[in-house]
């Protein structure tokens, strides 16, 4: 068992001590290019993001809306591979200590080699992983899919359609934080927030001591502030990815991303 505290745990502990909530940003690795992602991450750091979710580009991202699907496609067309994304993380670690969570599907990891991927991700500096299409009940049925290392924390996903009776078993082994999907469907910006967020977060928190983050559909400072009053962390993805798409490969990606994300971070920190 590892005795070294994970960066995700440290971040949440420090924020809790300061009475603050966490802001988590999602971007797709390799979008618009590998070098462009470096500038995006620097912009996120400039804005004060607490945790970065890096999407691992995949050709069939079923849980993603069109904005994130197109980001994955741009990354793949620009030459992104699993090995190159791991190298990208190694480069990020030369200038950033912000916790990194891989947001991904099982297929690219299984193709790479499940155990080897975990070991290489840990060596590169990844702190956690959210596998969208690997339920924990399935993982324990396959020896090769579990028990790799506690150094790479397993982020669990809970959705609005998750039966209340299943939540305790689902989050029992959660590490880092639990990601609550605030609405049914795929990722994407929304004009209104679900009216069940508070009750669902309370239900999850009754079953685990791990922090609860809420994402899917949050795109404005006002929405981020509202969600921060109900959860331990707020996740924004599609709105940032859309900005990256609009910026293209030219211009000041670092500056534009930092300027866009800073008001979102500030809104979360104001709670």
If one compares 62 and 83, the residue with the highest pLDDT of the two is 83
> Does residue 42 lie within any of the structural domains?
yes
Q: Report the chain's mean pLDDT, rounded to a whole number.
A: 90
Residue 140 within any structural domain of the chain: yes
The better pLDDT of the pair 187, 153 is held by 153
Give the whole-number percent of the chain exceeding pLDDT 90: 72
- Measured CA to CA, the distance from residue 233 to residue 217 in angstroms comes to 14
Q: Let me know if residue 233 belongs to a domain.
A: yes
User: Is residue 57 in some structural domain?
Assistant: yes
Residue 73: inside a domain, yes or no? yes
CATH number of the domain bearing residue 208: 3.20.20.70
Q: Per-residue pLDDT averaged across 208-212, rounded?
A: 97
Query: How far apart (Å, rounded) are the C-alpha atoms in residues 183 and 194?
Result: 6
Over residues 66-120, the pLDDT tens digits come to 888 999 999 999 999 999 999 999 999 999 999 999 999 989 998 999 889 999 9
Give, to the nearest 10 degrees, the angle between helix 253-269 and helix 34-47: 30
161 occurs within a structural domain: yes
Residue 177's Cβ-side half-sphere holds a number of Cα atoms within 13 Å equal to 33
pLDDT digits (tens, 9 = 90+) for 113-169: 988 999 999 999 999 999 888 877 777 766 666 655 668 899 999 999 899 999 999
The angle that helices 66-77 and 238-247 make with each other, rounded to 10 degrees, is 50
Collapsed DSSP state (helix, strand, coil) of residue 133: coil
- Identify whether 1 is part of a domain: no
Question: Residue 217 is encoded by which pair of tokens?
Answer: 């559909």
Number of folded domains that form the chain: 1
DSSP 188-235: ---SS--TTHHHHHHHHHTT-SS-EEEESS--SHHHHHHHHTTSSEEE
When pLDDT is cut at 50, 70 and 90, the band that residue 265 belongs to is: very high
pLDDT at 268 over 60: yes
Q: What percent of the chain has pLDDT over 70?
A: 90
Alpha-carbon distance 258 to 46, whole Å? 6
| CA 230/CA 202 separation, integer angstroms | 8
Instruction: For residue 2, tell me if it sits in a domain.
Output: no
List the domain range (segments joined by +) for residue 204.
7-269
The set of catalytic residues is 53, 64
pLDDT above 60 (res 190) = no
- CA gyration radius, the chain: 17
Q: Does residue 249 surpass a pLDDT of 50?
A: yes
pLDDT value of position 186:
44
> Counting beta carbons within 10 angstroms of the beta carbon of residue 251, is it exposed (0 to 12), middle (13 to 18) or buried (19 or more)?
exposed
Contacts of residue 165, Cβ cutoff 8 Å, sequence gap at least 6: none
pLDDT at position 179 over 80: yes
């Amino acid at each position: 068992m590892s005795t070294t505290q994970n960066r995700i745990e440290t971040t949440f502990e420090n924020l809790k001590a300061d009475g603050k909530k966490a802001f988590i940003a999602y971007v797709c690795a390799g979008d618009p290019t590998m070098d462009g992602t470096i500038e995006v991450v620097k912009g996120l750091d400039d804005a004060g993001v607490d945790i970065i979710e890096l999407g691992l580009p995949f050709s069939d991202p079923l849980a993603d809306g069109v904005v994130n699907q197109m980001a994955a496609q741009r990354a793949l067309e620009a030459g992104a591979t699993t090995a190159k994304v791991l190298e990208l993380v190694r480069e990020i670690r030369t200038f950033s200590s912000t916790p990194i969570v891989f947001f991904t599907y099982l297929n690219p990891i299984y193709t790479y080699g499940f155990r080897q991927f975990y070991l290489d991700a840990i060596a590169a500096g990844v702190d956690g992983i959210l596998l969208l299409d690997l339920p924990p009940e399935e993982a324990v049925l396959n020896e090769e899919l579990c028990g790799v290392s506690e150094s790479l924390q397993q982020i669990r996903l809970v959705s609005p359609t998750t039966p209340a009776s299943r939540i305790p078993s689902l989050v029992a082994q959660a590490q880092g934080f639990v990601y609550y999907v605030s609405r049914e469907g795929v990722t994407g910006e929304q004009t209104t927030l679900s009216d069940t967020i508070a009750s669902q977060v309370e239900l999850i928190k009754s079953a685990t001591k791990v922090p609860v983050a809420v994402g899917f559909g949050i795109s404005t400072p006002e929405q981020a502030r509202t969600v921060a009053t109900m959860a331990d962390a707020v996740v924004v993805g599609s709105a940032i990815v859309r900005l990256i798409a609009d910026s293209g490969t030219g211009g000041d990606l670092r500056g534009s991303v930092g300027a866009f994300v800073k008001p979102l971070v500030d809104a979360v920190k104001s709670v």
